[in-house]
Chains A and B, each alone.
Chain A
């Protein structure tokens, strides 16, 4: 055919296409949370103990494990949501960019502004779509260019195209999947750094689940995400890093512990700990 200069050049070498999706190398990871020997007690009951690991910036970290292993308890420590639970006592340390999250002088409200949270059940306010997203910025005094901010958040949550013509309609008129994306828009409207997602898709159908998972892939460019999920395949699909929590049973007590933390690919192809292997292959219990 000779030398054709008008052909479309392909920048990506074929070998790169064939390469496996790896989590970024350890030297390229920036620590956001440094969790040190974390334990949580509710009264006399120890919910989790001895949790020790780093959570990295612009990655999706999944927390998986059987019911009652302390996944949700753990993630709630990351933005001090457990402060609101009577009798909850947090031991150990969580350093957020090197600063003790539970240190004196740290304002929990400011912590929760920087570290947002999305829950299992979509929980929009019974207000308009616009007001749901604008509520956070208004409360925090971010009133400048509010329309732009709302649009940016809705675009970030991949919802803008679906709702741009009905922003004044009630948020409750949206489908479950749309409501959950609205909650994500609400969370990112105040420009947090971290998003904590506690079972964000477990109440959604497969199509809405896919859209949330796709959204998460997009969000990690701007945010650090931590997701609790009981759906192992969801963790395998979305997460860069996976932490497996399990229950340690002894002396009539059941305590959540971190068993293994590694790149998701490692956890799902060749885990190091037999307990992880048993859990992910369904041989648990």
Chain B
């Protein structure tokens, strides 16, 4: 039994979960900053990204060291490769949270309808759920949970389309148009966070089955709902 090796693998996985928790915090913070127009909170989210990056680098280095010294094979190899990919997906998610926080600071002083804010609240909550499902499925080695991310993502995509439709109704006033433009990017950032959660699900599937598989074919557009 390779005790040291197993301990190092466990530590990497624990750090990955920690990184996931930080991403959840960043996501919640960025949505709150947007809803409440809290520029200070937005600045915190932006500064907070360093914590995520720190975990990201620690995991990268840990994986590099494991590959160089321990030559993992079979399930161990798949776990190390999955950690490497999931690490990148989480880091990207955190970057999107920073994007949302920055956009929230750039929003002109306009009063859109409350429906608008509700749309982002819904997308944010759905993305949070997806990240939780992804992290839990990884810990529990739960293939069904991982596969359920596709359906959850479809809900985020629908919410994204609704937000875009509402933006088109904002009118032609220059400040409204600027606001709408920024909000398209926020919506897009949330939609991408959902996609990354699905990608984590695919890594879990690879870890468990040894097969590379795309859950959904991104090159073919989904039917509009």
B-contacting residues, A97-134, CB 8 Å: none
| A282 in contact with B210 given A269-B73, A269-B74 (CB within 8 Å) | no
CB distance from B138 to the nearest CB of A (A): 18
Question: Residue of A at shortest CB range from B206?
Answer: A270
CB distance from B71 to the nearest CB of A (A): 6
Interface assignment of A136: CB less than 8 Å from any CB of chain B: no
The answer to whether B72 touches A281, judged by C-beta atoms less than 8 angstroms apart, is yes
Contact with A along B4-15 (1 / 0, CB 8 A): 010000000000
B-contacting residues, A266-285, CB 8 Å: 268-271, 276-277, 280-283, 285
A236: B residues at CB distance < 8 A: 73
CA–CA, A271 and B74, complex, Å: 7
The answer to whether A282 touches B1, judged by C-beta atoms less than 8 angstroms apart, is yes
Question: Residue of A at shortest CB range from B5?
Answer: A282
Interface assignment of A210: CB less than 8 Å from any CB of chain B: no
CA–CA, A269 and B81, complex, Å: 11
Interface assignment of A233: CB less than 8 Å from any CB of chain B: yes
B74: A residues at CB distance < 8 A: 268-271, 276-277, 280-281
B78: A residues at CB distance < 8 A: 269-270
Question: Residue of A at shortest CB range from B70?
Answer: A282
Interface size class of B (residues with CB under 8 A): 10 to 19
CB distance from B201 to the nearest CB of A (A): 19
CB distance from A234 to the nearest CB of B (A): 12
CB distance from B107 to the nearest CB of A (A): 44
Contact among B1, B5, B73, B210 for A280, CB-based, below 8 A: B73
CA–CA, A270 and B77, complex, Å: 9
CB distance from A260 to the nearest CB of B (A): 11
| A269 in contact with B77 given A233-B71, A281-B72 (CB within 8 Å) | yes
Report the interface size for chain A: residues with CB under 8 A from the other chain: 14
CB distance from B204 to the nearest CB of A (A): 15
B76: A residues at CB distance < 8 A: 281
CA–CA, A248 and B2, complex, Å: 22
B72: A residues at CB distance < 8 A: 281
CA–CA, A285 and B2, complex, Å: 11
CB distance from B97 to the nearest CB of A (A): 33
The answer to whether A283 touches B71, judged by C-beta atoms less than 8 angstroms apart, is no
A283: B residues at CB distance < 8 A: 1-2
B2: A residues at CB distance < 8 A: 281-283
CB distance from B210 to the nearest CB of A (A): 3
Interface assignment of B75: CB less than 8 Å from any CB of chain A: yes
CA–CA, A131 and B76, complex, Å: 49
CA–CA, A32 and B1, complex, Å: 37
What are 5 contact pairs spanning A and B, CB under 8 A?
Answer: A232-B73, A270-B74, A277-B74, A280-B74, A281-B73
Using a CB–CB cutoff of 8 Å, the interface residues on chain B facing chain A are 1-2, 5, 71-78, 209-210
Q: A232-B73, A268-B74, A285-B1 are in contact. List 4 more A-B contacts (CB 8 A).
A: A268-B73, A269-B73, A269-B77, A281-B75
